[in-house]
Structure 1
Amino acid sequence: MPLSPTKYIFVTGGVLSSLGKGIAAASIATLLKNVGFKVSILKADPYINVDPGTMSPLEHGEVFVTDDGAETDLDLGHYERFLDVDLHQTNNFTTGKVYSTVIEKERRGDYLGETIQVIPHIVGEITRRMKEAAKGQDILIVEIGGTVGDIEGLPFLEAIRELRSEVGKKNAMNIHLTLVPYITVAGELKTKPTQHSVQELRRIGITPDMLICRAERPLPKELRNKLASSCGVERNSVIESADAPTIYQVPLNFLKDNILAPVSEVLDLGELKPHMEEWNTLVKRVIAPRDEIVIAFVGKYLGLKESYKSLTESLIHAGAHLDAKITIKWVDSEVLEEKGEKGLLDDVDGILVPGGFGERGVEGKMRAIRYARENGVPYLGICLGMQLAMIEFARNVLKIEDANSVEFNATCKNPIIYLIDTFLDTSGQKQLRTYQSPLGGTMRLGAYQCQTKKGSLLREVYQDKPTIKERHRHRYEANPEYRSAFEAAGLTVSGESDGLIEAVELEGHPWFIGVQFHPEFTSRLTNPNKAILGFAKAALATRHG
């Protein structure tokens, strides 16, 4: 029986950021989903940017793209990977988005001349968005970004305080994730940061029902009791969250700590017994796999690997299903360009070139692509990785020396890759969904259908499906004017979407595919993406000769 009304679980964080609120929220959601509830998650970010779309990867990490084309916080990627569901733009919003909406309403006269204030208008818009995301769900988990005490987070905390008061105590729960640091000099775990964080919450009218404590060492029973007493929670509601060998073990750790008992008590859910057998099997394979594969990951943001979070996680998913550890060999494309392939690529089972923007490092990436093409090494090119595969082929096989992308040379005579605007202007494909960024560029965002070519490797990888659906985030497209020349020389177009080239593959090569879409965005632990799984299988076959 569906729950009515929807239950809410609010997750806040204290002491400092990056403690893992997103993983904790996703883990609780996974357990509740495997009980049989319909569960969704919302991330509310207090930063004033409208969305992360224009933020630097050095500042924010990966931008995760939803099916409906929203550029969102990377935590939504964790939510989808844990829950195996498609989330939407309603599952992530920011202070910037909230204020923009309220100001637009005020300008239209929707408030009939009222003085616009944080309470009730801003807080009201926040709660409206939470209720919107809760529609049709048994349980909605709401993660509040940042930490308690951040000035920009106050309206969000006020919103969850008001919403719990509105729906009633049996329909909402507050979980606070905090740090219990181990002080080496003193030789003990310290509870004061948690106590102060909870005091800050209480000051604004929120009392946590549960504490999730990040700690480097196990929490002794006496310390748990102390936290329960000083923070006003039940003793069984102090949950330990220790570092785990994989994030996918966290739900199992929570289950072992009996986290669902206090959740059930607060929300009146009855006995909760999640079915985690498949999850447990996959986690065991992640931690102690039978095989190993080495993949060269050729990129330029290697100093901040969070920029590739979905892709690195998708390799973990594929490895779990193959019972193999996929070891990533990080290869800086600029170093590869300078020093060559020897020692960087000659000991790997597969080569992956991910998406990206800008000219820096592209020559090194093309060296990696040429090496894979000429030496029969399994290759997967994603977005820019497909585009560079086409440019490399045009230069070195078709002998078009000035072949390039207009991203790198706006006046090149042979634009193998050109702006999406050019396609729209010349073909009249008005049905193509695009988004105009504030910086003036047109982005192709979200999920699109792709028709796979009969008899192609791409169709085989996607289990003989004539039509697939994957997500995009890019501004540039492959120029169809060169298609016949490519195909005559052995680089076949194996995926198309409304006249756009979606995938290419190399005839006579063991496994060589470039895709314009981002397969990593739809990969989950229990359901790995087919393209990435196919690439990993090919690399495993290479290893075993």
Structure 2
Amino acid sequence: MKKKIALLGEYTPTFKPHIFTTTAIQHSCSLLSIDIDGDWVSTDDISDSLFDIYSGIWVAPGSPYKSMEKTLWAIQYARENGIPCFGTCGGFQHFIIEYARNILGFEDAQHAEYDPYASKLFISQLDCSLAGREMTLNFIAESQIATIYGALNAVERYYCNFGVNPEFIPLLKSNSLNITGSDSEGEVRVIELPSHPFFIGTLFVPQAQSTPEAPHPLVTAFLKAVFNY
């Protein structure tokens, strides 16, 4: 039976990160000689049957989503059940919220894009927008991300205006979630769960760098995990 992944987000055909997401899957499938379909699923349409249909989820850029709660449920289910789960840009941000609520116990953990006046803003507006910028990243040695890249640094592109609130970074570091990538300013840009087959979130948009000649290694690693799930 053909494997499928759910691309969770509000698909906009003119939004470049969404175009890049679809084409990056094609690039990596071609490299791996596998056939995996990526279906766009509105977050408002997420249901209990999601994982009866899909072998992995990619929480895509383009928040705010129509349903934060359904998105967080899907992330939690994938995290707890070892289902490959990839989050880029807005997806990364929602990984943080899900983890803060369900692992760290902050039931009121919030995202500034949804509620800018919440008291527990784990995701806050960046002082300087990263939209359209390319920046150098540094990876922790022997982390999953470093292994996938085969390097300790890379240059990646961003499309976001929100990131991890520095106030809560010590809490995030104190538990099982690993912060394994940062930019030249030391800000959190990659998170991963090392005990999980594939649970990686990036604030940057790796799919933007994928080409037919050089599929992005992160997308390729995610699709490998889906294929082997």
TM-score, with structure 2 as normaliser: 0.93
CA distance in 2, matches of 1:295, 1:389: 17
Once the two structures are superposed, residues 61-101 of structure 1 have per-residue CA deviations (whole angstroms, 9 ceiling, x without a partner) of xxxxxxxxxxxxxxxxxxxxxxxxxxxxxxxxxxxxxxxxx
* Equivalent residues in 2 for 1:394-405, closer than 5 Å: 394-405=100-111
Q: Which residue of 2 aligns with 1:533?
A: 220
Match of 2:132 among 445, 451, 458: 445
Aligned-residue offset at 1:325? 1.3
Q: Secondary structure, in 3 states, of the residue corresponding to 2:73?
A: helix
Question: Which one of the candidate residues 52, 55, 58 is aligned to 1:349?
Answer: 55
Match of 1:416, as an amino acid? F
Query: Unpaired segments of 5 or more residues in structure 2?
Result: none
**SS at the partner of 1:328?**
strand
Cα 1:528–1:420 change in 2 (3 A) is same
Judged with a 3 Å threshold, the aligned counterparts in structure 2 of structure 1 residues 324 and 377 are, in CA distance, closer, same or farther, namely same
Higher relative contact order (CA 8 A, sep 6+): 2
Distance in 2 between residues matched to 1:508 and 1:518, nearest whole Å = 23
SS of 1:365's partner is: helix
**For 1:128-164, what per-residue CA distance to the aligned partner results, in whole angstroms no more than 9, with x for missing partners?**
xxxxxxxxxxxxxxxxxxxxxxxxxxxxxxxxxxxxx
Unaligned ranges ≥5, structure 1 = 1-290, 422-433, 435-441
Aligned to 2:188: 501
Which residue among 172, 182, 186 is the counterpart of 1:486? 172
Counterpart for residue 371 of structure 1: 77
1 or 2, which has the higher helix percentage? 1
Distance 1:359 1:294, change over 3 A: closer
**1:12-50 deviation digits (Å, cap 9, x = unpaired):** xxxxxxxxxxxxxxxxxxxxxxxxxxxxxxxxxxxxxxx
Q: Which residue of 2 aligns with 1:220?
A: none
Partner of 1:454: 141
Q: Flag the 1:353–1:477 CA change in 2: closer, same or farther, 3 A.
A: same
Indicate if the aligned counterparts of 1:295 and 1:350 stay in contact, CA closer than 8 A.
Answer: yes
Checking the alignment, whether the CA contact within 8 Å between 1:492 and 1:507 is kept in structure 2 is: yes
- Is the contact made by 2:43 and 2:65 (CA closer than 8 Å) also made in structure 1? no
Counterpart of 1:323, as a letter, is S
User: Which portions of structure 1, spanning 4 or more consecutive aligned residues, are displaced by more than 6 angstroms?
Assistant: none
Task: Provide the residue aligned with 1:419 in structure 2.
Answer: 125
Distance 1:460 1:306, change over 3 A: same
Shift of 1:483: 2.2
Following superposition, the deviation at residue 331 of structure 1 comes to: 2.0
Please report how far the alpha carbon of residue 369 of structure 1 lies from its aligned counterpart in structure 2 after TM superposition. Answer: 0.7
Residue pair 2:10, 2:65 contacting (<8 A) in 1 also:
no
- Asked whether 1:324 is paired with 2:27, we answer no
Deviation of the 1:348 alpha carbon: 1.9
Post-superposition Cα deviations, 1:494-523, rounded to whole Å, max 9, x if no partner, equal 100112111000131111000000011100
CA contact (8 A) 2:4 2:39 kept: yes
Aligned to 1:49: none
The equivalent of 1:512 in structure 2 is 199
- Tell whether the 8 Å contact from 2:97 to 2:109 is kept in structure 1 after alignment: yes
Matched, 1:393 2:99: yes
Tell me the SS of whatever aligns to 2:132. Answer: strand
The answer as to whether partners of 2:145 and 2:180 remain within 8 angstroms in 1 is: yes
Q: 1:383 to 1:447 in 2, by over 3 A?
A: same
Match of 1:474 in 2: 160
Rounded Cα–Cα distance in structure 2 between residues aligned with 1:306 and 1:475: 19
Aligned length: 226
- Give the equivalent residue in structure 2 for 1:361: 67
Matched letter for residue 23 of structure 2: E
Partner AA of 1:462 in structure 2 = Y
Question: Aligned equivalents of 1:476 and 1:466: distance in 2?
Answer: 24
Partner Cα separation in structure 2 for residue 474 and residue 506 of structure 1:
23
Match of 2:7 in 1: 297
CA distance in structure 2 between the aligned counterparts of 1:481 and 1:444, rounded to whole angstroms: 22
